[in-house]
Amino acid sequence: MGKVILMILLAVGSSSAVAQSCSSLSQNIDDARTELTRARDSNDFDNAKNYARRAKNELEDAELAANDCKCPLAASEFDDAARHAKRARDSDSGSDFANELRRAIRDFNSALSNIRLCKSSRR
């Protein structure tokens, strides 16, 4: 009997965690957008790389939330964006940084399009 109750509690707890993560997607997107914009607009290379690191972290959170929201294409694009943000952070030249950051922003925008498609298919 105790095992059954524990299994029910785990099921309820995990479904609420999924709902909570899915509900955080909007905030994750806003935070990622903010950090990508800061990285793009920064005039200091070290600061720009720091913003790219922050963007990578936010993009990874957005990927998890998109998966929880059952939007796998968006999650894949957020993953790609996070990978490019990481490459931007690790770059040694301004041109490499700019190229990788552009790719991160492009993939971020693709993820947003996929989020919209995912939401519209649920209506």
Spell out the domain ranges in the chain.
Answer: 18-121
Give the lowest-confidence range in 15-29, 81-95, 108-122.
15-29
49 neighbors 26 (Cβ within 8 angstroms)? no
21 neighbors 65 (Cβ within 8 angstroms)? yes
Q: What pLDDT shows up at residue 34?
A: 97
> When comparing pLDDT for 29 and 12, which is higher?
29
Residue 110 corresponds to which amino acid? S
Question: Which CATH architecture describes the domain 18-121?
Answer: Up-down Bundle (1.20)
77 neighbors 108 (Cβ within 8 angstroms)? yes
Q: What pLDDT shows up at residue 102?
A: 97
- Residue 20, pLDDT > 70, answer no
Across the range 15-38, mean pLDDT stands at 79
| pTM for the structure as a whole | 0.80
As a whole number of angstroms, the distance between CA 103 and CA 92 comes to 17
